[in-house]
Structure 1
Amino acid sequence: MTEITAKQVADLRKATGAGMMDAKRALEESGGDAGRAKDILREKGLASAKKRTGRATDQGSIGSYLHLQADRPVIGVLVELASETDFVAKSPEFQAAANDIAMHIAASRPRWIRREEVPEAVLTEERGFAAAQARNEGKPEKVIDKIVEGRIEKFYQDAVLYDQTFVNPEKFAGTVGEMVEAMAAQMGENIMVSRMARIGVGEAE
């Protein structure tokens, strides 16, 4: 069996938010391959998340962030991070995560929380723009659909909170959705971002 070092476990925990024993078991199962270990944890986290789906999230905490410029607030964010129990919602880790997500929203300006919230009309328009651009660039017609879907994927990564890469990789290396998923797996509860609001001085809505 491949010997797993404490540093490997620590690095995997930092990247995924997994518990120590879960990270160690995933590394052992993957033979020390960090990439495969992440996949194993993600698969297990997804399985756990499916079991939790549908359970009420009527507890939670409000995260907030104010961005200062010349000693005055110019960007403000409120975000509701929902949980099943107040026990989890009161934990320092949960409240810190809510504030971290608020900070991310301030920096990355997501328009929606999840992909399914994006209006179909917006996606239709984006697909039209992407197809027209590809044709203007002289791309063969047979690859247009593939190019369009690639650009829609990029659109999701830019505009949807859960698809955005978390802005502080020192705290979590992955998307916001993966970070929330890792928290849910670690705490054993259904956890989700349910609402968000961002206001910036002089910015159009």
Structure 2
Amino acid sequence: MQKIKQLREATGAGIIDCKNALKQSGDNVEKAIEILRKQGIAKSAKRGERDASEGIIKVAVSEQNNEGYIAEINSETDFVARNAEFQKFSEQIIELIKNSCQSDKPSNLDELFAMVMGNNKIVKENLDNLSGVIGEKLNISKFNVLKGSTVADYLHLGGKIGVLVALDKENEKDLAVNIAMQIAASDPKYINSEDVSNEEIEKEKRIYKEQLLKQGKPENIIDKILQGKINKYFEEVCLVKQEYIKDDKKKVENILGNIKVTGFIRYSLA
């Protein structure tokens, strides 16, 4: 039943369809998602990528705008995520990461948990103490640092979505913020189409071909349709190919011009 529930959450398909897909896939959830997509029952696997944990995402950028920081701090309920003490602790964590010396910056969660905070207690001890006071399990699940010539941050939905983006040109803060907003809203997987693996492209082609055959499309025109489908796929998953959210007559690549996005990080609790 757990796999059926997982599959339903990932695809929105009905119980019977999920049972049949799991049976065909040998109880493999990923293969079952692909089967449902081929049948046109599941239009996208995106729902399964959502993180159901509650909490908050915090972001910050260095004074020079060349380094950004992002962290996800979790609670069991949204009520606690809005708690003033939890919010204060979360802000202290992102500031701790930001203000630590370059040589002392944590490279993993264990190092972050061992860092000393302003009250001379380590992060893990403060987290456990706060958990005891609030009465819920709390955790810092992940964090990251992003460098670039210009780095901007953006928070959406009150800290449910957080983004960092890096550009290859200095002093482009306004542009970088707009691109970060784009990433928050459109959730791209890649920067451009060259980043998509051949394996993924072939997988999508197989799925689209199955759908087209079920629709009764003749074999001799399927290849032409497939290329159009792949181009549409790139527009969905590749940042620079997406419609720009502030002007849908333009693509993100038109807004960037000669400036390149060198990296981005998007955390989501939504």
Q: What TM-score does the superposition give when structure 2 sets the normalisation length?
A: 0.44
Letter in 2 for 1:124: E
**Regions of 4+ moved over 6 Å:** none
Cα 1:173/1:116, change in 2 over 3 Å: same
CA distance in 2, matches of 1:132, 1:147: 12
Residue 180 of structure 1 pairs with residue 248 of structure 2:
no
Among 208, 214, 218, the alignment partner of 1:136 is: 214
**CA–CA distance in 2 between the matches of 1:97 and 1:60?**
13
Quote the Cα distance in structure 2 between the aligned partners of 1:126 and 1:113.
Answer: 18
Displacement after TM superposition at 1:173 (Å): 4.0
Shift of residue 161, structure 1, vs aligned partner = 0.3
Contact persistence 2:188–2:237 (CA under 8 A): yes
Q: Determine the structure 1 residue equivalent to 2:19.
A: none
Aligned partner of 2:265 among 179, 188, 197: 197
What amino acid is the match of 2:159? P
Q: Which residue of 2 aligns with 1:73?
A: 159
DSSP-derived class of the 1:73 partner:
coil
C-alpha distance in 1, partners of 2:159/2:194?
32
1:98 aligns to 2:176 (yes or no): yes
Residue 159, structure 1, aligned to residue 237, structure 2: yes
Pick from 224, 232, 235 the counterpart of residue 146 of structure 1: 224
Residues 1:118 and 2:196 are matched in the alignment? yes
Unmatched 5+ residue regions in structure 2? 1-146
Which digits, 9 at most, give the CA deviation of each residue in 1:17-63, with x for residues without a partner? xxxxxxxxxxxxxxxxxxxxxxxxxxxxxxxxxxxxxxxxx962101
**Count of residue pairs the alignment pairs up:** 124
Gaps of 5+ in 1: 1-57, 84-88, 185-190
Q: CA deviation at 1:64?
A: 1.1
> Partners in 2 of 1:179 and 1:100 — Cα distance?
10
User: Aligned ranges for residues 43-54 of structure 1 at < 5 Å?
Assistant: none
Measured in 2, the distance between the counterparts of 1:129 and 1:200 equals 27
The amino acid that maps onto 2:251 is T
Structure whose residues are more often helix by fraction: 1
Letter in 2 for 1:100: N
More strand by share: 2
The alpha carbon displacement at 1:147 in A equals: 1.0
Question: Once the 2 structures are TM-superposed, how far is the Cα of residue 178 of structure 1 from its aligned partner?
Answer: 1.4
